[in-house]
Amino acid sequence: MATGVVVRTPRPVLSRDRDFTDDEALTILRGSLEEPLAKLAIEHAAARRWVPWLCAYDGARMNEMTQLRGSGVRQVDGIWIVRITPEARSVKPGRWRDVPLHPHLVAQGFPSFAGSRGSRPLFYDPARTRDGSKARPIYKKVGERLAAWVRSPGVTDLGVDPNHGWRHRFKTVGRRAGIDPAVLDALQGHAPRACYRLS
């Protein structure tokens, strides 16, 4: 029995901030606008095109975006939103949330792209899945491919996680802009901190 046993582990040594710098973010977003290789599957090209922008503007987890379906992008009271749901088992803390789409994403045509997919996944084709499993579902593979691709446009510093860097950046930029921490947490699906929980 191990009740009361505490295992202390050393904190990882960080050589830099965990979020993308302005230059790194611009490099990835510019790379996402480049013409994809002809041999790239439509869904994979769409992931490169849209997922970095989605993560930049909403601070979501990479796998929350890579599992999106067309039906999850909709208008509510005239506002475009993305509904992030726990159906694919990667949403924390295990409940859905609606995140408004930034007007720039609307202007770029993301709702039209999502609508063209109907209720199908936006960034992978289930028919092409050969070895997806509950432990390693296809939307996670999409995230892994994106992480590898992010290194190719020039984000080579191994001190930043190529997928999670957006999440840290969103929080940093939000704080600088004076956005209420409770709002940032709600958008990102973080549990509210005790200091501003309602009693």
pLDDT at 52: 94
Greater pLDDT, 109 or 148: 109
Confidence check: pLDDT of 50 > 60: yes
Please check whether residue 7 lies inside any domain of the structure: no
Q: How confident is the model at residue 198 (pLDDT cuts 50, 70, 90)?
A: very low
Q: Is residue 73 part of a domain?
A: yes
Query: Residue 80 domain-assigned?
Result: yes
For residue 44, the one-letter residue type is H
In a domain, 194, yes or no: no
pLDDT for residue 10 is more than 90: no
Number of domains in the chain: 1
Residue 133 domain-assigned?
A: yes
Q: What is the CATH number of the domain that holds 124?
A: 1.10.443.10
pLDDT tens-digit readout, 116-143: 999 999 999 888 766 555 567 888 899 9
Tokens of 51: 């997922």
Rounded mean pLDDT of 82-102?
74
| Domain-embedded: residue 181 | yes
The pLDDT-based confidence of 57 (bands split at 50, 70, 90) is very high
Domain with 121, as residue range(s), is 22-189
Residue 90 has pLDDT above 70, yes or no: no
In-domain check, residue 199: no
Question: 182 pLDDT band (50/70/90 cuts)?
Answer: confident
In this predicted structure, the answer to whether residue 186 has a pLDDT above a threshold of 90 is no
Please report whether residue 77 resides in a domain: yes
Give residue-wise pLDDT tens across range 11-20: 554 556 678 8
